[in-house]
Structure 1
Amino acid sequence: MKYKYLFFKFTLFLLLGALSLPAIAQTIKGKVTDAETKEPMVGTTVSLKETGRSQYVKLDGYFTFKNLKPGDYTLEFRFVSYKTRLVKVNVTNLKTTTLNVVMEPTTNELNSVSIVDNESATDRRSRTIEKNSNQLVNVVSARSIELSPDITVANVMQRVSGVTIERSNSGEGRYPIIRGMDKRYINTLVNGIKIPSPDNKNRFIPLDLFPAELLERLEVSKTLTPSMEGDAIGGTINLVMKDAPSATLLQASFSAGYNSVFAGRYFEQFDRSTISKLAPTEIKGNSYAATAADFPVNNLHFSNKANPININFGVTFGDRLFKDKKLGFIVSTSYQDNFTGNNSTFFLPNASPGVNNVPTFSDLEARTYSQESRRIGVNNKFDYKFNNRNKISLVNVFVRLDDYQTRRISDTISTNALVDAFSRSRWQYQSIYNSTLQGIHQLDDALKFDWSVAYSQANNHIPDQAEFDHEYPITQTTVSSDNLQGMSRIWTHNSDQDYSVYLNLTDNFKLLNRKFELKLGGLERNKSRDSYYNSYSLSPYLGTSNNQVYTTIDAANFTFKTTDKSLFVPDGNDYTFKENIAAAYIQGKWQLTDKLEALGGVRVEYTKQNYATQLPASVDAATGIINYTDFLPTALLKYALKDNESIRLSYNRALARPAFSDMIPGGQMGEVYQEQGNPLLNHTTADNLDLRYDLFPKNADEILLGAFYKKIYNPIEYEVSPKGTTAILMPKNDETDATNYGFEAVFTKYFGPMGVVANYTYTKSKITTAKVFTYRNDAGIISSRVQDETHPLQGQSDHIANMSLIYRNAKLGLNLQGAFVYTGTRVAFVNPAYGLDYYQAPTEQLDFSAEKTLCKKFTFFAKANNLTNTPYVLELHQSYNAYLANGQRPLALQTDVNKVITVQKDSFKANYLFGIRYKL
């Protein structure tokens, strides 16, 4: 009886417990979306007011509250720049309550005019831009940039599908290459306005000038529409700066770190105190004959600094003022002071190879670089909304980069010979300034007019680059002293100024009862460039001796010999260049069916150029005038399989104007060849075909699969031409057209807090160039002939891959990202000699970043770059064993001896950064 009672009691307990479970295990779950874009509102704060519990909307767009008792609840939804929503819910037993919550922005958009607020900085807004854009575009949001391991725009670019970057001597990313198209084929904009380049020879923009934290988003367009500027065969990069917010915005960050390359050696710095920004002849007149006294040697005083610390900080503040918040502004600043280094081994080739084009080398160099880079960026914007139809804005962007570089070289030409020790100091500062006044006017419900007036200036200065060398034996078999050699001093600077006006008129109406958008407009740009170059070479003062013994640079005694350059002799490097571009376009977008949209039109660009050098009038093409007109048609089709799925087919013609120095007769001495421009150079044009499949499943997820083909006319390659006893490196148009084709795949997927972002690009290009081949004829005499060689375009890599593994947990306030970049073999330098192109070996780089919320407004972050210590390696695709069999001297660095000759290896090591971020 006792056991029956216990069994009954136990059964009753289980039954009551089971009946009570629904009362404590109810669930509320739901999805939060944007009223305009229909995209999930990741990061929205959801609070359950009756319990005080709260959470963030996850990466998949959902939230869930579990273990709730039956009853009435109120949920509060909050997100910056969106209206707060209160939703009442009744929870009953044995039921999961599911909600679909739609959030509305606190500010309205001007009809058909994009007025972007802070929310545009999110990944989902980036996917929306990619989905709705007319051209094929990849977008990186400010939030993705903030969470990435990168602090400059150049390094952010390497995360974009189909993009690789060229690095500077310090290992920092500098120039992008899009789909294997070299930097000469790429166009760079700031807020849609083309900016000039500070580069002393070329048009392309060094993107390491721009701190990444100034950006609201980064757009990379790989196709063009008629309304876009046409000089972008490879693609267009648009740096969209931070915009005025809809509410008070205050952000600040501070970080510090170090480069591990200095864990094994000192950072070497030089004295900058006496550097003169002007050459002696700029101060005293072009006829002034310089003396040794004009060249103090303080900037050749070097000192060691142990474990230099990198410092970075930035501040952003914005708000809207006055009644109805009509006036908005934002000011964003960034300062970066970073120390980088490079340990390099380099084999300097002879200008002429051996018989059968076996490579020969004049010097084997051990190089060390120490570089301090100070980067300043300022972005400010003011906009005023007169009403819902009219708005004007003023944008000012300024960036400046100061590089202080010390370079040491030790070189020899044989095992038992003399070593030349070179020491060089260089201060280079570059800047870009852009000011743009813009207006957007909705004339009626269908008609819109917008305009822009812009002024831009770019400057580049290298004041008093100083280098000297001394020579000493490397064996003890001969008694000899350390002897002073020559010294060189170089001043160079250039400045670009652009004045631009853009006009666009857009009308919307129905054509054959289908939506039709007609857009037409044009631009006028006046560019002027000034370039100055002056170099001096001095020799050691010998007196009655044959040599001057070197002890210190302060004790060195230099003078000008009759063969040295003490007078300023203007040449082709000193020139003025003016360029006027007038463009007009007409563009139509027609909704042919419910699923099929067509866009087409034509752009006409007229280019007028004239230049004047300081070469004597007797020199051919000392001055020149160049005019040409290009018709650039475009046709695009977009077929919507579903609302979030489409297929795009596009064709467009584009152009690339030659670099300034490419057209100027005269040039500078490079490391191997004397460089010279070619006034007969033609500009390059190309036909581009693209096919892409787009799928945007939800949130920030995406799948993009595409193929592309480019036919390039008048491509520019560098060839060697004999001029007396000197070999001249000169740009020329190849007689054969070049092709470039491939495919891309982009995949982004989030699984709750986990995410995978990956892309892969295969590119193949082909160009045939006339090159020099050296051989021994039947009579035993060494001779040469011109022989065609087919090779990839410079900068093109067959395989490019990116993969990032992401963990984002809003509840824990934790974000982690591991980013891997693979760049396959690519041509780094097209050699004028047959079979001697320089190839960059494949690189594999691993980076990492982390972010942890410390409290409501403060976040700790860390960034680590190049954890794999990936070196930069250049190779010749010839057998090293065959090279030795030809009687050449042994070389260090060699590994794959049967296939390649390694000619350069640079080591940069890992870089670390740790910081604090504040957000109001």
Structure 2
Amino acid sequence: MQYKLSRLTAACLTALISTGTYADQGNFVGTLSDSARQVYFEGAQVRIKELNLTTTTRRDGSFRFNNLDAGAYTLEISYLGTAPITRTIRITDDKTSTGEFTLSDSRTAIEDVVVYGQRAGQAGALNMQRSADSIQSIVSSDAIGQFPDQNVAEALQRLPGLSIERDQGEGRFVGIRGLDPNLNNVTVNGVNIPSPEAGVRSVALDVFPSELVEGLVVSKSVTPDMDADAIGGSIEVKSLSAFDRAGQSASVTVQASQNQLRDNTSPKVSASYTNRYDLGNRADVLGIAGAVSWSDRDFGSDNIETNGEDELEQRHYTVNRERLGAALNIDYRPDFNNQYYLRTLYSEFSDTEFRQANVFVFDGDDSEIERESKDRFEEQQIFSVTAGGEHQRQQWLFSYQAGYSESSEEEPDALYYVFKTDGFDINSDLLGQIPDLEQEAAVSQLSNYELDEIEFANNLSEDKEYSLKVDIARDLTFSGHAAQIKFGGKYRSREKQQNTNVTFFDGDFDAIDPGMFADETPDWGLGNFGQGLDKDALRSFFNANRSDFEIAQLDSEIESNGESFINEEDIFAAYLMGKIDMDNLRIVAGLRYEKTDFSTSGQRVELVEDELNDIEQVINTPWHVEQDYDYLLPSLNMRYAINENLLARFAYTQTVARPKFEESAAFQIIESKTEENDDGGYDTEREAEVGNPQLKPFESDNIDLSIEYYPGGIGVLSAGYFYKDISNFVVFADVANLPEWNGFDEVIQPVNGEDATLQGVELAWVKTFDSGLLLAANATFSDSEAVTLLDGERFETSLPNQSDRVGNITVGYEDNQWSLRLTMTHKSENLEEIDGDMLLMEDSHQQVDFSGKYYINQNMHLYLNAINITDEPFYAYFNQRSRNAQYEEYGRTFELGFSWNM
């Protein structure tokens, strides 16, 4: 079917090129703004009535029609929330005519509807969604500011079909329609962003402060000019540009927040500035935009978790997260036909965590207890720079872009302590969200423990990508219909490197009294935690006595070498696509070709412990693997305007997703033990954990159907159906039965599994009323089927991290002084993984947030945000809800701030 569609699409495009005609007459360039010419409007539909030519305004409010015969025409501009604008324009041969249009021409109070407050965000997003060529969900910059969202991930959770994975209560990774975040593509200003985290492709979007973002676009169906690695979808982050606004603008926001669980107050400051400078004539303009955001947040969490069988763990977290983000963007437009730009983005995210833990292992008289500490500082950095331009040459549009992006995650001097004791009476049934624990009073005293192990780590992950893209588009007519042919190519070169450096110390601890590290009992709200550990005392003692400790050389070597690797990936892509407007029907179709050259270098690390031959050593063998593959991927997007208010869409696309780097990396960690048995002989057991450089990419056939009703004013009622047939889904299996692993008892390796399917329905409703009331609701109902392997047998289940139900409800109100929103997000339970013979399930999560603003005047306002009002915890369980896997509380957070805009 794929090749038939490919040939059919290619034939249609060839016909379009060969039979198209065009004229080289006059052009028209216009802009759409508010009456003060301070705000531009993106996504407005602009139509020349007599010719039935339609286009949409860009983010700077501009639109363009090329190759028009001389004469007078009727121009119609439609923007949700306003009355249509109708004007007469005149075209002259061989000249570019210009025009400026303001929405306030159509209604006196227009600024109150689409320029000011929360309705601005809804109007902008819905207009862009309505005019899009593919199926999209959009968050405008105005909408981001209307919710108490800390970062990009949390802003995206408000959209239909999107959910987030949280860490310490904060949103980090974004899932689209329940799929793994690694199956999404993330770009910033058109450049693919590498992941700072080791081994993965998914980008934790909490590293981007929401203040630096001008808009977010989620494409759930792709077009041929987009990267194909988007089985879930593509997330585009747009940073601020001077041409998003007219003239000079500035903003400053200061905020203080408090987390109730740890009773800490944290500051946040952000600012932005844009200006446009005329350089000789009206069209010769230089634009500069800059933004910066800084926050320093202190908070924490209380946790209790079990393994579902014989182990319970209490955890107390103290966390500090500091975010620094900055963007500097430059645009130069010497005339109507030429544009140049430079986009930069820098983000620095540091996470300082001190975790104290009590681990109880229940085994009757042989029960053991551990007291542990984790003291680590982790810093992630992302830097992106993009340069490019656009040139209009009669009916041709040439655009190009060069980009470089790099990310890193550094974990220097991480320090872990483990203290152990035994002989105490402990017991728990491990049932309930917060299981009861029976223990003797002496268990809480550190003086009853012995220091067992210290771990010291310096880890670094780096990810770099270079890219070059060229696009060429030509306007033409086909059988009397406006059309466009577009083609181009893209080259991406990426290197992902993981360096692990771990040292284990496990001896010369006899003279150490753990009581010297005792601290006051932590404020842990889930029960009796016992004496705490002094973070500074632990660090100082290690620094002063490190040279006296005995190093576990073999354990250190196998972990350091076995978890280090380098992956390289070169991707070349070329595409051909066409777009045609046939009365009320728009068709966008084409082919995309992608070729991937992949290589990975690591080590085969084997720990040999042989009592028979008195051997104890680590054998390191370099391992390098290369492979290449290519795809020809057709896509079809159709948009049909049933009437002025009702749209229907259909999309068929083929997409791919390359495996996680840690899954396809060349690494093998092998443990081989030869020990004497009860009969006097010797037995050898061999186990391994290995990567799989021969993994095939995920492949997906995607079908989308949707209908959108825009009833007038600012609002939409939509419904959609989606279906995905995914091949080469990656599962983890025991492959010890394969010939290459003869003699091994267990070998865990990621392998390509059987097919998986995902289907569902998305529903959304948004409506603003003249009274100031805003109502919004969306829900996604989905179902998946996947096959994994358990003990060598087929096991049918749902996709990991896929929730059957995801939804949002928002109630808002706004007048000239107040802007209020109360919102609830819901995510139903989902399968995390198969743990032995148990299903690890994440319970449903339902969070309520509030945002309120008081406008002192049109330039200044105060705001109050309340996050997680109901103090919703995170909960996971094994098989049934009464069997605890993890329970974690974060507390409520309140934010008070002041914002000024010019």
Interval containing the TM-score (normalised by the shorter chain): 0.7 to 0.9
Is the CA contact 1:220–1:237 (under 8 Å) kept in the aligned structure 2?
yes
Q: Point out the more displaced range, 853-862 or 210-219.
A: 853-862
Matching residue of 1:198: 196
**How many pairs align?**
732
Distance 1:874 1:862, change over 3 A: same
Shift, 1:806, TM fit: 1.0
Match of 1:751 among 769, 778, 785: 769
Matching residue of 2:666: 665
Shift, 1:443, TM fit: 0.9
Aligned equivalents of 1:345, 1:595: Cα separation in 2: 58
Matching residue of 2:388: 438
Aligned equivalents of 1:345, 1:489: Cα separation in 2: 25
Matching residue of 1:912: 894
Matching residue of 2:248: 248
SS in 2 for 1:837: strand
Q: Point out the more displaced range, 410-419 or 694-703.
A: 410-419
Shift, 1:527, TM fit: 1.2
Q: Point out the more displaced range, 741-750 or 116-125.
A: 116-125
Matching residue of 1:790: 796
Aligned equivalents of 1:668, 1:907: Cα separation in 2: 36
Amino acid at match of 2:465: D
Aligned equivalents of 2:709, 2:217: Cα separation in 1: 19
Q: What are the equivalent positions in structure 2 for 1:340-351 lying under 5 Å apart?
A: 340-348=299-307
5+ residue gaps, structure 1, are: 1-31, 42-57, 63-80, 88-98, 105-115, 263-306, 349-358, 773-785, 879-895
Aligned equivalents of 1:437, 1:817: Cα separation in 2: 39
Shift, 1:903, TM fit: 1.6
Aligned equivalents of 1:533, 1:35: Cα separation in 2: 47
Match of 1:702 among 703, 713, 716: 716
Matching residue of 2:186: 188
Match of 1:610 among 578, 599, 602: 599
Is the CA contact 1:484–1:550 (under 8 Å) kept in the aligned structure 2?
no
Shift, 1:754, TM fit: 0.3
Q: What are the equivalent positions in structure 2 for 1:160-199 lying under 5 Å apart?
A: 160-168=159-167, 170-199=168-197
Give yes or no for the alignment of 1:551 onto 2:551.
no
Matching residue of 1:258: 258
Give yes or no for the alignment of 1:449 onto 2:398.
yes
Matching residue of 1:488: 455
Match of 1:584 among 571, 574, 585: 574
TM-score, normalised on structure 1?
Answer: 0.75
Shift, 1:252, TM fit: 0.4
Matching residue of 2:478: 511
Match of 1:845 among 844, 847, 851: 847
Give yes or no for the alignment of 1:859 onto 2:861.
yes
Aligned equivalents of 2:750, 2:793: Cα separation in 1: 17
SS in 2 for 1:854: strand
Distance 1:864 1:85, change over 3 A: closer
Is the CA contact 1:442–1:448 (under 8 Å) kept in the aligned structure 2?
yes
Match of 1:877 among 879, 893, 902: 879
Give yes or no for the alignment of 1:808 onto 2:802.
no
Distance 1:587 1:478, change over 3 A: closer
Aligned equivalents of 2:442, 2:104: Cα separation in 1: 91
Distance 1:873 1:117, change over 3 A: closer
Distance 1:34 1:206, change over 3 A: closer
Aligned equivalents of 1:484, 1:541: Cα separation in 2: 10
Query: What is the aligned-residue identity percentage?
Result: 24
SS in 2 for 1:622: strand
Aligned equivalents of 2:257, 2:744: Cα separation in 1: 51
Distance 1:917 1:729, change over 3 A: farther
Is the CA contact 1:430–1:459 (under 8 Å) kept in the aligned structure 2?
yes
Match of 2:870 among 868, 871, 887: 868
1:631-653: per-residue Cα shift (whole Å, max 9, x none)? Answer: 11001222110133211111000
Aligned equivalents of 2:118, 2:481: Cα separation in 1: 32
Larger Rg: 1
Shift, 1:83, TM fit: 7.4
Give yes or no for the alignment of 1:769 onto 2:788.
yes
Amino acid at match of 2:594: E
Amino acid at match of 1:759: N
Distance 1:511 1:119, change over 3 A: farther
Give yes or no for the alignment of 1:829 onto 2:829.
no
Aligned equivalents of 1:405, 1:251: Cα separation in 2: 33
Amino acid at match of 1:124: A
Matching residue of 2:122: 123
Q: What are the equivalent positions in structure 2 for 1:215-294 lying under 5 Å apart?
A: 215-244=213-242, 245-262=245-262
Shift, 1:86, TM fit: 9.6
Q: What are the equivalent positions in structure 2 for 1:633-672 lying under 5 Å apart?
A: 633-666=634-667
Shift, 1:760, TM fit: 0.4
Amino acid at match of 1:436: T
SS in 1 for 2:663: helix
Aligned equivalents of 1:477, 1:127: Cα separation in 2: 61
Aligned equivalents of 1:548, 1:504: Cα separation in 2: 68
Matching residue of 1:336: 295
Match of 1:739 among 740, 757, 771: 757
SS in 2 for 1:451: strand
Aligned equivalents of 2:549, 2:454: Cα separation in 1: 10
Matching residue of 1:320: 276
Matching residue of 1:892: none
Aligned equivalents of 2:665, 2:507: Cα separation in 1: 34
Amino acid at match of 1:509: L
Amino acid at match of 1:126: A
Is the CA contact 2:605–2:668 (under 8 Å) kept in the aligned structure 1?
no
SS in 2 for 1:795: coil
1:28-73: per-residue Cα shift (whole Å, max 9, x none)? Answer: xxxx99899279x9xxxxxxxxxxxxxxxx99659xxxxxxxxxxx
Aligned equivalents of 2:137, 2:124: Cα separation in 1: 12
Aligned equivalents of 2:632, 2:556: Cα separation in 1: 50
Aligned equivalents of 2:441, 2:196: Cα separation in 1: 51
Aligned equivalents of 2:637, 2:499: Cα separation in 1: 45
Give yes or no for the alignment of 1:467 onto 2:426.
no
Shift, 1:876, TM fit: 1.7
Is the CA contact 1:570–1:614 (under 8 Å) kept in the aligned structure 2?
no
Distance 1:559 1:827, change over 3 A: same
Aligned equivalents of 1:843, 1:184: Cα separation in 2: 22
Is the CA contact 2:191–2:405 (under 8 Å) kept in the aligned structure 1?
no
Shift, 1:591, TM fit: 2.1
Shift, 1:846, TM fit: 0.3
Aligned equivalents of 2:851, 2:647: Cα separation in 1: 34
Amino acid at match of 1:591: D
TM-score, normalised on structure 2?
Answer: 0.76
Give yes or no for the alignment of 1:408 onto 2:406.
no
